[in-house]
Amino acid sequence: MQIQYIYSMKILSPQQLKAVETQTIKIQDVDLINLMERAATAVLNWLKNHMDVSKNHFTIICGVGNNGGDGLALARLLASENSHVKVYLQKNNNYSLDNLTNQKRLKDAKIPIEFYDSETKFEFQPFSIIIDAIFGYGLNRPIEQEWISIINQINQAENAVVSIDVPSGLFCDQLNSPEDAVVQSEVTLTFQTPKLALFLPENEKYVPQFEILDISLDWASMESQNADFHYFSMDQIPQFHKGRTVFSHKYEFGNVVTIGGSYGKIGAILLTTKSVLRSGAGLVTAYVPKCGCQIIQTSFPEAMVMTDFSEDKIIAFPSVDGFDTIAIGPGIGTDEKTALAFAQFLEENDLTNKKMIIDADGINLLAKNPELVNKLPEKTILTPHNKELERLVGNWNDSFEKIKKTKEFVQKNNLIVVSKGAYTQTYLPNAQIYFNSTGNPGMATAGSGDVLTGIIAGHLGKGFTAEEAALFGVFLHGFCGDEAAAQIGQESLIASDILNFIPTGMKKLFG
Ligand SMILES: NC(=O)C1=CN([C@@H]2O[C@H](COP(=O)(O)OP(=O)(O)OC[C@H]3O[C@@H](n4cnc5c(N)ncnc54)[C@H](OP(=O)(O)O)[C@@H]3O)[C@@H](O)[C@H]2O)[C@@H](O)CC1
Ligand SMILES: [K+]
């Protein structure tokens, strides 16, 4: 089963979006004004799904381009729903064509437009929702001094703010400088494909959350764009279903060994081992120091256990001949003797045909001895958090430097890196980077990564390619975490909950 990359959602630059827009107009035989109407209708529908628009008040602040045009069209649609709408439009003599068309449509519908300039002092009604339609993906320079007060007034108001397409002032594919004026919205409703800026931690205060609204741009045109960045979302999931038949037997679903644990950290490898089987792998064996044997056998009878001759840490790695998948790291510690055993294991085994994933202290052991990276089988999956990743690729000053360094690292070494965090980033050796769409802040909790390692290892065992296992494993982990949070909340969520929700998550995805 190979991933059909054509099904992934590409993250496009403003120039590419413009090209897709132009091609859509040609292929669908429509005009831009129709796309604008689709965009405004999509926003209206989103608002209707989230509130009673007929009772709400909206203050729509529009710019001079097509983002402003979306705002004007939305004003007309909201007014026809009996909403209370106040429309502000920037005073200018350089409006886009379709902005002008929508101005005329408002005039025809007798909906007044109030013009603002850099001196305007808005009087927002306290309960009115501000719709930010000043700039979208067409922003081509930071917001100029004279308009900063407009953005500041929006940010200082106590009103809820909804941004259309992009928070005004935010660049789509480069970082703003900290002093730039950018709208801080509660939610951004972005059209068709998410923009790169929405995923970057530097922009969290402008984009605490976003939603993608479909406006039926031409799919083939989007797919024809070259993109390094992708969004891995629900649309890609059906192709990951690998069912069982009546005659299936456990040996068809992989034989996985999990290597880790040390005195006081057996729980980590236990979580990983359990997650392997819960993900549908056939067989799992935990290789742990002696102190871990009873713990694992008692709390997880489905697993087999092999033990190191040491009581409290791993100092000699096992033979991996009979296993197809190897997971190393959870709870293993960084003792010198463990480090030596790990190095010897990588240097003296032929791992060419093995599938491998390394996590946690396994990554720290690797970082201590960087030339060992050359000994890893191709497409080994590494699942570092940011601190662990820095130990492998060096420090970075911002997201773009991180992306560049990590991309170089995976390409040079033919590895896969899963960089954990909000919108977990998966770097494939072909230089493609995927942002994940599932998960929640409650999952930043002890042992969450151990469960992820097990889920990915389980899918490797089941026969997924390394790319598939990494991408789908990250998605499933977040999805199960979301299911768990929906039931018990984020605050008290623990890693075992994520694990316990794997069956619910799998069932919900595949039936
Ligand atoms: N395909 C889709 O997804 C669809 C997208 N649609 C919508 O179109 C939006 C993109 O529209 P857009 O291209 O007209 O750009 P937009 O963001 O309105 O701003 C451009 C204007 O701002 C100006 N300007 C720029 N920077 C500036 C600055 N710092 N300070 C001052 N001025 C500045 C620039 O003028 P300039 O001065 O550069 O000549 C120009 O006048 C998109 O986000 C979405 O909402 C839908 O309608 C339909 C389908
Ligand atoms: K906007």
CATH number at residue 455: 3.40.1190.20
Q: Is the CB of 39 under 6 A from ligand 1?
A: yes
Position 277 scores a pLDDT of 95
Q: Is the CB of 361 under 6 A from ligand 1?
A: no
Q: Is the CB of 132 under 6 A from ligand 1?
A: no
Does 106 have pLDDT greater than 70? Answer: yes
In a domain, 411, yes or no: yes
What is the Cα–Cα distance from 189 to 165, expressed in whole angstroms? Answer: 5
Does 6 have pLDDT greater than 50? Answer: no
Position 253 scores a pLDDT of 77
pLDDT band at 2 (very low <50, low <70, confident <90, very high): very low
Q: Which of 59-73, 239-253, 274-288, 457-471 has the lowest mean pLDDT?
A: 239-253
Convert the pLDDT of each residue in 472-502 to its tens digit: 999 999 999 999 999 999 999 999 999 999 9
Does 1 have pLDDT greater than 50? Answer: no
Question: Do 106 and 254 have their domain in common?
Answer: no
Which atom of ligand 1 is closest in space to residue 143's alpha carbon? 29
Runs of H (alpha helix) within 462-500: 466-488, 495-500
Domain containing 368: what range?
248-510
In a domain, 235, yes or no: no
What is the Cα–Cα distance from 19 to 186, expressed in whole angstroms? Answer: 29
C-alpha distances in Å from residue 19, one per residue of 25, 37, 226, 301, 495: 10, 19, 12, 57, 44
Question: Do 179 and 257 have their domain in common?
Answer: no
Mean per-residue pLDDT, 302-318:
97
Question: Do 265 and 202 have their domain in common?
Answer: no
- Amino acid occupying residue 356: M
Residue pair 176/140 in contact (Cβ under 8 Å)? The answer is no
What is the Cα–Cα distance from 128 to 381, expressed in whole angstroms? Answer: 49
Residue 62 CA to ligand 1 center (angstroms) comes to: 11
Say which residues have a Cβ less than 8 Å from residue 364's Cβ, sequence separation at least 6.
Answer: 334, 388, 391
Position 511 scores a pLDDT of 80
CATH number at residue 198: 3.40.50.10260
Asked if residue 450 belongs to a known ligand binding site, the reply is yes
Question: Do 92 and 211 have their domain in common?
Answer: yes
Position 3 scores a pLDDT of 39
Does 105 have pLDDT greater than 90? Answer: yes
Convert the pLDDT of each residue in 342-380 to its tens digit: 999 999 999 999 999 999 999 999 999 999 999 999 999
Question: Do 264 and 197 have their domain in common?
Answer: no
- Could you say which ligand is closest to the alpha carbon of residue 40? 1
Position 83 scores a pLDDT of 85
The rounded Cα 187 to chain-centroid distance in angstroms is 16
Per-residue tokens: 411 = 């390409």
Position 446 scores a pLDDT of 94
Question: Do 203 and 254 have their domain in common?
Answer: no
Mean pLDDT for all residues in the chain? 94
Residue pair 358/392 in contact (Cβ under 8 Å)? The answer is no
Question: Do 219 and 354 have their domain in common?
Answer: no
Does 5 have pLDDT greater than 50? Answer: no
In a domain, 277, yes or no: yes
Mean per-residue pLDDT, 136-158:
96
Residue 147 CA to ligand 1 center (angstroms) comes to: 15
pLDDT band at 4 (very low <50, low <70, confident <90, very high): very low
Question: Do 371 and 483 have their domain in common?
Answer: yes
Position 249 scores a pLDDT of 63
Position 250 scores a pLDDT of 65
Position 246 scores a pLDDT of 62
- 189: β partners: 164, 211
Strand order, beta sheet including 355-359: 9-10, 229-232, 433-436, 425-427, 416-419, 381-383, 355-359, 325-328, 255-259, 283-288, 304-307
Position 314 scores a pLDDT of 98
In a domain, 234, yes or no: no
In a domain, 367, yes or no: yes
Asked if residue 264 belongs to a known ligand binding site, the reply is no
Question: Do 384 and 481 have their domain in common?
Answer: yes
Mean per-residue pLDDT, 400-415:
98
SS3 category, 475: helix
In a domain, 139, yes or no: yes
Position 192 scores a pLDDT of 95
Position 254 scores a pLDDT of 85
Q: Is the CB of 138 under 6 A from ligand 1?
A: yes
In a domain, 6, yes or no: no
Position 160 scores a pLDDT of 97
Q: Is the CB of 71 under 6 A from ligand 1?
A: no
Q: Which of 41-45, 243-247, 336-340, 499-503 has the lowest mean pLDDT?
A: 243-247
Position 247 scores a pLDDT of 60
Question: Do 200 and 319 have their domain in common?
Answer: no
Q: Is the CB of 141 under 6 A from ligand 1?
A: yes
In a domain, 387, yes or no: yes
Q: Is the CB of 388 under 6 A from ligand 1?
A: no
Convert the pLDDT of each residue in 296-305 to its tens digit: 999 999 999 9
Question: Do 275 and 398 have their domain in common?
Answer: yes
What is the Cα–Cα distance from 134 to 149, expressed in whole angstroms? Answer: 13
- Could you say which ligand is closest to the alpha carbon of residue 66? 1
Counting the structural domains of the chain, the total is: 2
Residue 66 CA to ligand 2 center (angstroms) comes to: 10
Asked if residue 497 belongs to a known ligand binding site, the reply is no
Question: Do 216 and 277 have their domain in common?
Answer: no
Does 449 have pLDDT greater than 80? Answer: yes
Convert the pLDDT of each residue in 48-99 to its tens digit: 999 999 999 999 999 999 999 999 999 999 999 988 999 999 999 999 999 9
Does 510 have pLDDT greater than 90? Answer: no
